[in-house]
């Protein structure tokens, strides 16, 4: 690197770090840094950058962390093509971040777009494309900008859907993602959105405004409008955290027995990407069997999201039948073989 370019880069870095002297920004960064330093397996980071204030705040914090800890960080933005302005926004975002010595890789969602359930489909596609790319780039830690307000919204949405214990308690700081190879980190889950907006404007004086955030035809927007009423009734962030912590304790206990069931009552053939389940696998309590099977389908099918609960329960009912032979779910083939059950990828030809 030329001496002039190096000097300019150092000046940018010094300016970015100076913002940490701000009490609000400094507090957020310390919590962010403590979470990452607590995981000694973090050697590099991938950042999902939507361009909203939350993800830009995350981008800044990750950049500071990379400077102070000499860590490799890559940044990814998905041009979803759902709005006519999305490509223009992606180009603008890349240009703004470049001024701060941040190189953002633009991924493009090609192909047919959904006509219904748009936000849900788009969210799944975003995770799929970004996680696929960071896996190719050999990153195994992905940071996303979910914050305290998202935690509140997500809990209520799952409650309205009739989610069980796992669904209500699973929106944590750390999750194992796609194919168990990428760890999803949410280092801002305890930070209020207003503080992240303040940070993004203070540093970048820019963020992309998503008009869908004001569209009440989307359930998440309606839930967002409902939250203030619930807070007035006493269900504030403190009560929410207490509820989730209590649920998480029970969820942790169940997950212990799920791991035990998979370990003792199944056999994984890595070369063939195949699980063989013994009959004892299905002799555990329903919730243990349900989650164990869900985890295995997720691994074999290379999915970020679990199979739908309704579909899993239907599969479990069919497995109990004497005439059960074969079924497909989550891009997996579930096949009976003597007293065992074999699960392998649907796209892989069985030898």
CB 234 within 8 A of CB 228: no
Sign of CA dihedral 87, 88, 92, 93: negative
Give pLDDT, residue 349.
46
What pLDDT does 229 receive? 82
Residue 262's nearest CA partner among 218, 206, 209, 300 is: 300
- What integer pLDDT is reported at residue 180 of this predicted model? 59
Residues 176, 88: Cα–Cα separation, whole Å: 33
User: Which single residue is written with the structure tokens 């050999």?
Assistant: 138
Going residue by residue through the chain, which has 351 residues, state the pLDDT in tens, using 9 for 90 and above.
Answer: 565 577 889 999 999 999 999 999 999 999 999 989 887 778 899 999 999 999 999 999 999 999 999 999 999 999 999 889 999 999 999 999 999 999 999 999 998 888 887 777 888 888 889 999 999 999 989 999 999 888 888 888 888 888 888 888 876 656 655 555 788 899 999 899 999 999 999 999 999 987 776 666 777 778 877 887 888 888 887 888 888 889 989 999 999 999 999 999 999 998 889 999 999 999 999 999 999 999 999 999 988 678 888 899 999 999 999 899 999 999 999 999 988 999 999 975 444
pLDDT number for residue 350: 44
Q: Beginning with the edge strand found earlier in the chain, give each strand of the sheet holding 174-176 in spatial order.
A: 104-108, 72-79, 44-48, 141-143, 183-185, 174-176
Integer-rounded Cα Rg, in Å, for the chain is: 22
SS3 state of residue 94: helix
What DSSP state is assigned to residue 45?
Answer: E
The tokens for 299 are: 């691994």
Please give the order of strands across the beta sheet that includes 266-269: 266-269, 274-277, 340-345, 332-337, 326-329
Structure tokens of 346? 């649907």
**C-alpha span between 126 and 221 (Å, rounded):** 19
Segment 293-305, tens digit of pLDDT: 999 999 999 886 7
Q: What is the pLDDT of residues 241-292, one digit of tens each?
A: 888 889 989 999 999 999 999 999 999 998 889 999 999 999 999 999 999 9
Q: For residues 3 and 6, what is the distance between their CA atoms, to the nearest angstrom? A: 5
At 53 the pLDDT is 95
Residue 342 — left, alpha, or beta (φ > 0 → left; ψ -120 to 50 → alpha)?
Answer: beta
Cα 339 to Cα 337: distance, rounded to the nearest angstrom: 6
CATH topology of domain 3-235: Rossmann fold (3.40.50)
pTM for this prediction: 0.77
Helix 309-319 to helix 286-300 angle, to the nearest 10 degrees?
110
Angle at 212 between CA 206 and CA 214, to 5 degrees: 90
Q: What is the pLDDT of residue 111?
A: 85
Domain boundaries, the chain: 3-235, 249-345
């Amino acid at each position: 690197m030329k001496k002039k370019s190096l000097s300019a880069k150092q000046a940018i870095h010094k300016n970015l770090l100076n913002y940490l002297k701000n009490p609000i920004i400094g507090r957020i960064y310390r919590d962010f840094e403590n979470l990452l330093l607590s995981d000694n397996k973090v050697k590099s980071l991938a950042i999902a950058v939507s361009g909203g204030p939350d993800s830009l705040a995350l981008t800044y914090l990750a950049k500071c962390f990379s400077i102070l800890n000499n860590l490799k960080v890559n940044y990814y933005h998905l041009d979803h093509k759902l709005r006519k302005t999305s490509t223009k926004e992606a180009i603008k975002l890349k240009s703004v971040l470049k001024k701060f010595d941040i190189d953002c890789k633009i991924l493009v969602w090609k192909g047919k777009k959904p006509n219904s359930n748009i936000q849900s489909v788009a969210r799944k596609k975003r995770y799929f494309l970004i996680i696929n790319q960071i896996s190719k780039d050999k990153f195994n830690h992905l940071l996303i900008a979910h914050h305290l307000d998202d935690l509140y919204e997500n809990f209520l949405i799952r409650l309205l859907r009739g989610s069980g214990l796992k669904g209500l308690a699973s929106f944590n700081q750390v999750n194992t993602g796609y194919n168990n190879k990428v760890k999803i980190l949410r280092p801002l889950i305890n930070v209020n959105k207003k503080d992240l907006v303040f940070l993004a404007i203070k540093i970048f004086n820019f963020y992309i405004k998503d008009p869908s955030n004001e569209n009440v035809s989307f359930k998440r927007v309606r839930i967002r409008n409902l939250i203030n009423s619930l807070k007035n009734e006493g269900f504030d962030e403190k009560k929410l955290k207490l509820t989730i912590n209590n649920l998480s304790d029970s969820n942790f206990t169940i997950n212990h027995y799920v791991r035990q069931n998979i370990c003792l009552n199944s056999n994984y053939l890595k070369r063939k990407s195949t699980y063989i389940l013994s009959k004892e696998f299905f002799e555990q309590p329903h919730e243990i069997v349900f989650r164990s099977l869900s985890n295995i389908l997720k691994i074999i099918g290379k999915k970020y999201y679990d199979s739908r609960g309704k579909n899993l329960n239907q599969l479990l009912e069919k497995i109990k039948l004497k005439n059960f032979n074969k079924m497909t779910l989550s891009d997996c083939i579930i096949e009976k073989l003597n007293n065992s059950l074999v699960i392998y990828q649907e796209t892989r030809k069985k030898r």
